[in-house]
Structure 1
Amino acid sequence: MQVARTLDAMFILAFFALCSLSEGIQRRYHYINMNKTWTEAQRYCRENYTDLATVHNINDMNELKNTVNNNQKYVWIGLKRTGEWKWSLGGPVKYLNWETEPSDNTNNCAVMRNGTWRQQDCDVASQFICYNDSSKAYIIDTSSKTWRDAQRFCRQHHTDLIKVRNQTDNQLIHNIINDPQRSVWIGLFRDSWEWSDHTDSTFRYWKSGQPDNYGGYEDCTAVDMNNEGKWHDVSCSDSNTFVCHEDELILIQENLSWTEAVTYCRENHVDLVSVDSQEIQLMVTEVLHHAWTAEVWLGLHHSCSVGIWFWVNGEVVCYQNWAPGNEAAVDNSESEVRSGAVQSGGDHLWISLPGSHKLNFICRRKEK
């Protein structure tokens, strides 16, 4: 494996270097000084950059304001009211089994009771079922928690709240519950607002009193540059200038071995991604939503010669995000070198796998 031998040599040269602070991968915003409806702006951003702007924190918001740097009244970003149901574990909602059709009220989480699903206020305490991807097992927990607390527990101790893909899954879970009077949280929830690129950023910067859905048709979000960049819900058919974002990472939905993924990224982009900071880990989680495989290759490789993990960029692994037991899950007597991948669901932890596994992978983009 020529790539592996070359990378081992790179690592040995850098082995005694101190861990340095990563420069990080900054999100790049582009202000487009053209007036378009929200849908037209979305189409433009997807054709020319990545998508309409997503904002993850106040630093992103300040960067966006600096990018616009004028007194436009309203500027589109990528947040839109949808009210769509989603799985906590990710992936499309293809199967539904409601007892009665869900209403538009605030009961935005789902329980299973007697084999069918019901809306329930997310703050109600209920029992719940976790899914463990490693053992492929369903684990019922008889303690009572709110939906968010149940989600947090499942992600910490297993993979996530359960996802019901089809009637077979539904019947299996119904059998596990085994009580027609018991209501149990499943991983289905509804978020009133969704980013255009489908990332799960919960950051909001609404002006006081917003969103108010005045007139019942204000389903899109604009930044008020005359009011400290605070957000308003406005009609999607309004015409405004807008901000696009350009991600530095790209998910490749092809199943390749680790070495093949390195070659692909280097030939078509920059390299397989090195996750050397929490900031880059967050960006990795953003692009995992559309992964076709349960794990996705990172630029993380084990050196048999020195018995330590390293990144394809030659840096020592300082920032750590391993699933329990995986950092040391390397037997140097194994004939096959192991590489690092990230879970596409759950808490997106790193795991050790034989490099011959065929997975999706994440590349650093070429600079434009």
Structure 2
Amino acid sequence: MGRKGCCSALVLLLLFNVVAWIEAEVQKTIYFPSQKLTWDKARWYCQKYYIDMVTWDTVDPNLLTTWLIEEGFTNVWIGLHQDPEESLVWRWIDVKTGEGLTGDDVSGSRNWVLGQAVGASCGSYNSITKKWENTLCFLEMSFICYADNLVVVTENKTWEEALDHCREMTNSSFKYDLLSITNSSDYSYVSDRLYGATTDEIWIGLRFLGGEWWWSDGETLDHQEMLPDCPSQWQHCGTVSKYNTTSWTSRDCSERRNFICSYEEVVNQEEKRDSKSG
């Protein structure tokens, strides 16, 4: 999304859910930079220009595999590496929520092909065999990065200020708003993205109006029972804990905390009509 260093990248947009015109969803974009790098340099590149290297909870493996084969990519670095303190344990780079793969899991997993090279402690993916492989980290290979449509803001603001902050970032290309988590499959992913927040709870686009809880994108909350049906006079705004995104809490809207915005591409009315008619 206007990032420097992206012009040579091949881009594949993987939408895990259909995006309605008025409904915000978490979207992930996969990038394939043209150069080949070692595993460490590849990860540095992904973190500098995007979010990080791809892990299996950030992509649809079947879609990714199909695209890799079509574009001629066979072996690519992914965000998987050997634990430096436990030689039989492999971990996704997102160690906060990624599950450690023990030696037993590795040897018995249909996703794995283990080589015999000493020091092969970085993970790659073979699109032909559809297997993860342990590979020598100093080899230069193609790699996969990802980004999304979320912005975590570490400034402390009231709920209204947070809403205004997000919406004021809107431009001719992208529309911004406080995040509406309308799909339960996004919960764990959002939790990962909140890891860098400086407050334990973060404002999201939940607001109590007219006797109901609403998302700021205009959708009603499907699980109204998760929040009080008659909150006290001031606790009409919703937060999510960065440690548990499935637990929302009503808070005083005047409290100040971090918040998370999302954005979607602006679609003009003619494009909307063409899409609907198609």
Common fold by TM > 0.5 = yes
Q: In the superposition, relative to structure 1, how do residues 23 and 253 fare at CA in structure 2: closer, same or farther (>3 Å)?
A: closer
Q: Secondary structure at the match of 1:293?
A: coil
Aligned to 1:221: 123
Q: In the superposition, relative to structure 1, how do residues 74 and 28 fare at CA in structure 2: closer, same or farther (>3 Å)?
A: same
Aligned to 1:47: 48
- Which has the higher relative contact order, 1 or 2, with Cα contacts under 8 A spaced 6 or more apart? 1
Q: In the superposition, relative to structure 1, how do residues 222 and 39 fare at CA in structure 2: closer, same or farther (>3 Å)?
A: same
| 1:93-137 Cα shifts (integer Å, max 9, x gaps) | xxxxxxxxxxx477xxxxxxxxxxxxxxxxxxxxxxxxxxxxxxx
- What displacement does 1:301 show? 0.6
Q: Secondary structure at the match of 2:207?
A: strand
Mapped contact 1:22–1:277 kept (Cα < 8 A): no
Aligned to 2:217: 313
Gaps of 5+ in 2: 1-20, 171-175, 267-278
Aligned to 2:136: 235
Aligned to 2:200: 294
Question: Which amino acid is 1:200 matched to?
Answer: T
Q: Secondary structure at the match of 1:328?
A: coil
| 1:270-321 Cα shifts (integer Å, max 9, x gaps) | 1110011112323321212222212111100111xx1111011111112568
Question: Which amino acid is 2:123 matched to?
Answer: T
Structure 2 distance, partners of 1:37, 1:365, is 33
Q: In the superposition, relative to structure 1, how do residues 66 and 320 fare at CA in structure 2: closer, same or farther (>3 Å)?
A: farther
- What displacement does 1:337 show? 5.2
Mapping of 1:340-351 within 5 angstroms?
340-346=238-244, 348-351=246-249
Mapped contact 2:240–2:248 kept (Cα < 8 A): yes
Structure 1 distance, partners of 2:224, 2:134, is 39
Q: Secondary structure at the match of 1:33?
A: coil
- What displacement does 1:346 show? 4.3
Structure 2 distance, partners of 1:105, 1:27, is 32
Q: In the superposition, relative to structure 1, how do residues 24 and 201 fare at CA in structure 2: closer, same or farther (>3 Å)?
A: farther
CA RMSD of aligned residues (A): 3.2
Tell whether 2:250 aligns with 1:358. Answer: no
Q: In the superposition, relative to structure 1, how do residues 291 and 209 fare at CA in structure 2: closer, same or farther (>3 Å)?
A: closer
Mapped contact 1:296–1:344 kept (Cα < 8 A): yes
Mapped contact 2:23–2:217 kept (Cα < 8 A): no
Q: Secondary structure at the match of 1:287?
A: helix
Aligned to 1:25: 26
Structure 2 distance, partners of 1:37, 1:71, is 19
Q: Secondary structure at the match of 2:36?
A: strand
Structure 1 distance, partners of 2:98, 2:259, is 22
Q: In the superposition, relative to structure 1, how do residues 366 and 80 fare at CA in structure 2: closer, same or farther (>3 Å)?
A: farther
Aligned to 1:131: none
- What displacement does 1:81 show? 2.1
Gaps of 5+ in 1: 1-19, 85-103, 107-190
Mapped contact 1:253–1:361 kept (Cα < 8 A): yes
Structure 1 distance, partners of 2:22, 2:168, is 27
Mapped contact 1:321–1:350 kept (Cα < 8 A): no
- What displacement does 1:44 show? 1.9
Structure 1 distance, partners of 2:213, 2:23, is 17
Structure 2 distance, partners of 1:355, 1:348, is 20
Question: Which amino acid is 2:186 matched to?
Answer: I
Pairing partner for 2:146 from 230, 245, 249: 245
- What displacement does 1:76 show? 0.9
| 1:163-220 Cα shifts (integer Å, max 9, x gaps) | xxxxxxxxxxxxxxxxxxxxxxxxxxxx74132x555244989774946473441221
Structure 2 distance, partners of 1:213, 1:200, is 27
Q: Which has the larger radius of gyration?
A: 1
How many equivalent residue pairs?
Answer: 235
User: Which deviates further from its counterpart, 245-254 or 271-280?
Assistant: 245-254
Structure 2 distance, partners of 1:320, 1:21, is 20
- What displacement does 1:365 show? 4.0
Q: Secondary structure at the match of 2:166?
A: helix
Q: Secondary structure at the match of 1:253?
A: strand
